[in-house]
Amino acid sequence: MKLVDLLDVKNQIYHLIQGTIEEVNIEYLSQDSRDIQDNTLFFCVPGTTFDGHQFAKMAEEKGAVCLVASKHVDVKIPVVYVEDVIKTMAFLAMRFYHDPSGSMSLIGVTGTNGKTTTTHIIRHLFEKNKKSCGMIGTNGIWYHQEHIYTPNTTPDSLTLQKSLAKMKEEGVFICTSEVSSHALVMGRVQNVDFNVAVFTNLTHEHLETHHTMAEYGMAKSLLFAQLGSGNNGKIAILNKDDTYAKVIASRCNATIWYYSTKDPSAEFYAKDMVYLASKTEFTLVFQGLEYPVISPLIGEFNVQNALAALAAYYALERHLEKGIEALSSFSGVEGRMQTIENDLGIHAIVDFAHTPDGLEKAMAALKKLNHKRIITMIGHDGGNRDNSIRQDLGRIALEYSDYVVFTSENPREEDPMKIMKEMVNGLEVHHYEFVKDRHKAIDRVVALGQKGDILFFTGKGHEPYQLIGCEKIPFHEAQFVKEALEKKAHE
């Protein structure tokens, strides 16, 4: 593509174009100076750790033919100077990949908790009904049998637009994506055309980035503000049980549907929930009719996730019965209330709950199951994470558990013992212990477990690593729990 055509110089405002660009041809886009191919347009993205402007010369030396920058760079190739490199990158990525979202059906899911499970359910509903559906989120990018790992919940705009274009090329015209607050404020999803947007909930998290809950909520509402007006067919699906839904609704002009487990006035309302060890049964009330639903997931919060997914499926397919039937065969999500099978009569569960709200909802669900004791293993991230929630996490774990083993999660450069002590600071209870090494903590919890107990391993979920110091160490929690249970069974 000719650079002059890509830039759309007649309609897009640039501060300055340095050098001659008329004959420049662009065949590749990159923001990583290690990833330069023939005829690359390189974006000097400023970041918290590295500033892409520092690598401008390296990009030039490796063969980049033009740079996009927001401050002076000393190179001989053409430079397009802009106010905001990240927003410009999102716009040019959309143009370079020929606006793939414009001819796809996209479902965006945002909220503090439930994004991953909801997107997985949505994909399952479509795939089970023979409609190929892509998925983008915490567990990577999925379509057909392809799985691409990504470090962020919502990838950067280059990866996102390229992935959507690839899905279209492979005949995938439906995609569901987790949309993080970071992605929204950083402009990663600008120029992405969502047809449906889902709000799960808003609870205490990421205040190290957003500073206040109001700012955090504003970030989430951006997804719904960009849907446009209600006459364009766009639909917002909001959790009526969350108080912030009203704020989002006030900032959204699209058609709004609500789902709820408490308010019968919601378009998608669940009642008569029955919680069992391996499934949840409930009645869905929709347009005055009642539908029996079986979900293989446990807990009221997973009923809400199922309602959100069914509403999103109905928004595009208008066939609720097929969605309900498909839900019954959903196999769950790795690291989300994942049951580890064993022959000991122990109910072992690995989960990702790492916020006070997520932890309390998960443990409240466990309390409703038949059990003798609940033994919980939990820690908290160190480094630049929001440490104001540590005491709440410790309090909730101790309140719902008969015994708690506190351990390391991703301590980074912070002392794990300091983190664990902060989790119990001021709490006048003693049914806990500290085990610094997470692998040893798993062994300790399994050693304590007896028939009829629930062993709850939370905080890591699907994450295949631990961040200790500056090292990223492989760590597969579900596998370690499985091995510990098997060893116990043969003792």
Binding region = 33, 111-117, 152-154, 180, 188
Binding residues for ATP: 111-117
- In degrees and rounded to multiples of 5, residue 405 shows phi and psi of -110, 110
For residues 168 and 79, the answer to whether their CB atoms sit within 8 Å is: no
In which element (H, E) is residue 349 found?
strand 347-351
CA distance 78 to 361: 54
Give the sign of the dihedral formed by CA 223, CA 227, CA 246, CA 242: negative
Residues 6+ apart with CB under 8 A from 327: 121, 124, 125, 293, 294, 295, 306, 309, 310
Q: Which amino acid is at 384?
A: N
For residues 442 and 470, the answer to whether their CB atoms sit within 8 Å is: no
Which residue in the block uniquely carries the two structure tokens 């709200």? 357
Give the sign of the dihedral formed by CA 323, CA 324, CA 330, CA 333: positive
- In degrees and rounded to multiples of 5, residue 285 shows phi and psi of -105, 120
Q: Which residues pair with 434 in a beta bridge?
A: 406
Residue 416, burial from CB neighbour count under 10 angstroms (0-12, 13-18, 19+): buried
Question: Which tokens in the block code for residue 308?
Answer: 């959100």
CA distance 368 to 361: 11
Q: Which residues pair with 69 in a beta bridge?
A: 81
Residues 6+ apart with CB under 8 A from 119: 107, 109, 135, 136, 137, 176, 177, 178
What sections of 401-476 are H helices per DSSP? 416-424, 438-448
Question: Where are the strands (E) in 144-223, listed by range?
Answer: 146-148, 174-178, 196-199
For residues 367 and 454, the answer to whether their CB atoms sit within 8 Å is: no
CA distance 153 to 116: 9
